[in-house]
Structure 1
Amino acid sequence: MREEDYLRLDQQICFSLHAASRAFGGLYRVILKDLGLTYPQYLVMLVLWEHGELPVKKVGEHLRLDSGTLSPLLKRLETAGLVRRERSARDERSVLVGLTDEGVALREQALRVPRRISAATGFDVTEILDLRSRLDKLTDALDAAALEETPDHE
């Protein structure tokens, strides 16, 4: 490949990932409409369905979101009656987030979402697991590279 070809849009892995992410977003928007959730709200619900009540900070760690991004999501989910937030009795600085009965019940409806997404990809289970594993490996490598590029890193 010629040097200038590296600057072509169709040669950028970041753009391929961006385009795939946008395509997923569009499909999730349609599928999640029945649940009354946006994709970021769905991710919060996935964490809570899996782990139960958690400090907001832990939810953010699972989703790689800062509190400034996560707080409005939680507020909308709370307004919708799906989650509740309350200060921790053990640590006043910590806010716990947990599911309401409605949030727990929504899980049943959400069970069909992964199957619909999986079917839409056209991939079999092995291909999906392989892709996810490779993307996780890519994420780890990029996180490590970003840390190395940070000026404060020694």
Structure 2
Amino acid sequence: MPRSKNTLPLDALAAEDVAPLVGGDAPSFQSAFQAIVAWGTSRSYREQVMRDSGFPFPKDLPAFLVINQLIYRGLATPTALADAVDTTRSNMSRVIARLESAGLVFRAHDPRDARGAVIGLTASGRALGSRVVDAMQDVSVLTGWSAEEIETLERLTIKLASTLDAFPNHPLTVTAGVPFASVQRWPAVVEQGR
């Protein structure tokens, strides 16, 4: 790739001009949290979980993300899935169709919208979801942590998520589908019918 005429020589810049804005001297909560989120949402980590769980579509990241969303949501509308996976509604329709063809998801009438549908995991999809959860819960990363430290981490992480979700419109619940507040779940009719 040819160099741009606007390329600066690094030795012409002061150290403060190239230093990180956050966490440069030592890790901070903000830089550590950003690193964990970046790692957890990275393609390489997701592909590793796909391999470790035996995901049937090894190159289909949107399909994996839909399964992941349904692991935590139970049921979701195609629109909510498209928003969470950051894709178009038409592309989400194709992803859902692939997962339906593989017998991993089902469609049902949305009890909150007579014209809408909800998507859920079939028995095969739930088995796959369990393998995905197992692949993501490699507790060996916490080797050397005491039970008390792990309990404290879990309690404080849930508290942080609940605090963030208390912002207007419950941003974590809406985006991730995991309810942290008293947000309405699917009607009991759906639960009784399954």
Q: Shorter-chain TM-score: which interval?
A: 0.5 to 0.7
1:97 is the counterpart of 2:96:
no
- Name the structure with the higher helix share: 1
| 2:110–2:116 Cα contact (<8 Å) kept | yes
Q: CA deviation at 1:103?
A: 1.1
Over alpha carbons, which structure has the higher Rg? 2
Aligned pair count reads: 131
1:24 is the counterpart of 2:40:
yes
| 2:68–2:129 Cα contact (<8 Å) kept | no
Q: Which residue of 2 aligns with 1:119?
A: 140
Work out the percentage of aligned pairs sharing the same amino acid: 18
SS in 2 for 1:9: coil
Q: What 5-or-longer segments of structure 2 have no aligned partner?
A: 1-19, 169-194
TM, length-normalised to structure 2: 0.48
Q: Which residue of 1 aligns with 2:72?
A: 47
Per-residue CA deviation, residues 16-64 of structure 1 (Å, 9 max, x unaligned), is: 211012223343431223324746334324236xx4xx3528x95xx9x
Counterpart residue identity of residue 127, structure 2: A
Q: CA deviation at 1:75?
A: 4.8
TM, length-normalised to structure 1: 0.57
**CA RMSD after TM alignment:** 3.9
Q: CA deviation at 1:126?
A: 4.3
- Structure-1 separation of matches of 2:121 and 2:162: 30
Q: What 5-or-longer segments of structure 1 have no aligned partner?
A: 1-6, 148-154
